[in-house]
């Protein structure tokens, strides 16, 4: 009975810890349009063809007023990311995750059963300090680090107002993933900020992750879906036409109100596995990154 009670207690603790990850209202989703930019740190016109998303969830430290956004493009082999950061206070003291910089998180095969990086060799993330683009730190399994290190191109442009990061990741070579329309992958962006004359990280902002735990588990990534620009445009036109037809129709029947129950958006098996582990050891996903 004591073992069952301990297990149930661990289950409740884990459910409280991970429920925000699977909450439908909290999970951020985005799209990447098809297109191939030139990776030179400049914002080509092609970047205007894809959506921009704010990186505005404070996940660590105190709010410094920094603002940031990202956009993504893709072709059959590569995922491209543009990150724009407004931050006039430039500082780079400490380690690679301490000074001004960014981190990009990948779950290219969208393995939603993976709880940690060790569960899938293709899941990884990299981070750089803004003043040293050649100094790239990779995390994840040793296999993932080796795959990704040789398949990325990063350009950083620094101005008085902030930074522009332009990144190309060859996922075909790095993870044996051929990109195509309608594919979805786990994905997240982190922006680090350090106040001048400091030797610690002042703040970190995420796109999806608001808990500072994406560096330990892909459960905290958002979801990025690849779309074909022409297909998306056709869909938009079709929806507009449908709305016009609907507006012309009249009916005297009163509108019906349906009450629905939100679908369960997490894998109970994963939660039980985590709880079973937690019953015998400390939960490690709550550690703060140093």
CATH number, domain containing residue 111? 2.60.40.1190
Confidence (pLDDT) at 35: 97
Does some domain include residue 260?
Answer: no
Does some domain include residue 151?
Answer: yes
Does some domain include residue 4?
Answer: no
Q: What angle do CA 45, 51, 53 make, to 5 degrees?
A: 120
CB 128 within 8 A of CB 96: yes
Cα-Cα-Cα-Cα torsion 111, 112, 118, 124, nearest 10 degrees, comes to 70
Residue 176, phi-psi category: left (phi > 0), alpha (psi -120 to 50), beta (remainder): left
Does some domain include residue 14?
Answer: no
> Token pair 């059963």 is at which residue?
113
Confidence (pLDDT) at 24: 55
CB 123 within 8 A of CB 140: yes
Range of the domain at 116: 29-230
Q: How many other C-beta atoms can be found within 10 angstroms of the C-beta atom of residue 177? A: 20
SS (H, E, C) 31-45: EEEECCCCCCCCCCH
Confidence (pLDDT) at 25: 65
Q: In whole angstroms, give the CA distance from residue 215 to residue 134.
A: 21
User: What DSSP line would sit under 232-262, residue for residue?
Assistant: HHHHHHHHHHHHHHHHH----SPPP----PP
Confidence (pLDDT) at 23: 56
This prediction has a pTM of 0.74
Confidence (pLDDT) at 229: 77
Confidence (pLDDT) at 141: 82
Per-residue pLDDT of the chain (290 residues; tens, 9 = 90+): 544 444 444 444 444 444 445 455 699 999 999 999 999 999 999 999 999 999 999 999 999 999 999 999 999 999 999 999 999 999 999 889 999 999 999 999 999 999 999 999 999 999 999 998 888 888 888 888 888 888 999 999 999 999 999 999 999 999 999 999 999 999 999 999 999 889 999 999 999 999 999 999 999 999 999 999 743 443 444 344 444 434 444 444 444 434 333 333 334 444 444 444 444 433 222 233 43
Residue 121 vs residues 116, 142, 203: alpha-carbon distances, Å: 10, 8, 29
CB 221 within 8 A of CB 107: yes
Long-range contacts of 113-118 (CB under 8 A, 24+ apart): 113/267, 113/270, 114/218, 114/219, 115/217, 115/218, 115/219, 115/270, 115/273, 115/274, 116/216, 116/217, 116/218, 117/141, 117/144, 117/216, 117/217, 117/218
Does some domain include residue 288?
Answer: no
Does some domain include residue 274?
Answer: no
Number of domain units in the chain: 1
Does some domain include residue 123?
Answer: yes
């Amino acid at each position: 009975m004591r073992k069952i009670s301990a297990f149930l207690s661990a289950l409740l603790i884990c459910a409280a810890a991970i429920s925000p990850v699977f909450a439908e209202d909290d999970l951020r989703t985005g799209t990447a349009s098809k297109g191939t930019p030139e990776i030179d740190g400049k914002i080509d016109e092609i970047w205007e063809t894809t959506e921009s998303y704010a990186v505005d969830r404070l996940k660590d430290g105190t709010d410094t007023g920094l603002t940031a956004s990202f956009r993504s493009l893709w072709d059959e082999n590569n995922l491209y990311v543009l990150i724009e950061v407004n931050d006039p206070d430039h500082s780079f003291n400490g380690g690679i995750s301490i000074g001004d910089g960014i981190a990009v998180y990948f779950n290219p095969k969208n393995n939603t059963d993976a709880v940690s990086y060790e569960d899938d060799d293709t899941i990884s993330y990299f981070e750089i300090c803004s003043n040293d683009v050649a100094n790239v730190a990779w995390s994840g399994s040793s296999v993932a680090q080796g795959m990704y290190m040789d398949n990325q191109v990063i350009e950083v442009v620094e101005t008085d107002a902030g930074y522009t990061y332009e990144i190309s990741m060859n996922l075909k070579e790095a993870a044996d993933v051929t990109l195509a329309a309608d594919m979805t992958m786990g994905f997240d962006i982190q922006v680090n900020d350090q106040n001048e004359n400091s030797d610690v990280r002042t703040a970190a902002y995420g796109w999806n992750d608001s808990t500072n735990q994406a560096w330990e588990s892909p459960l905290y990534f958002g979801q990025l879906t690849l779309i074909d620009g022409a297909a998306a445009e056709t869909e938009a036109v079709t929806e507009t036409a449908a709305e016009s037809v609907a507006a012309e129709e009249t009916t005297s029947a009163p509108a019906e109100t349906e009450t629905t129950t939100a679908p369960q958006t997490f894998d109970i098996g994963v939660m039980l596995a985590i709880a079973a582990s937690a019953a015998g050891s400390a939960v490690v996903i709550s550690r703060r990154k140093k």
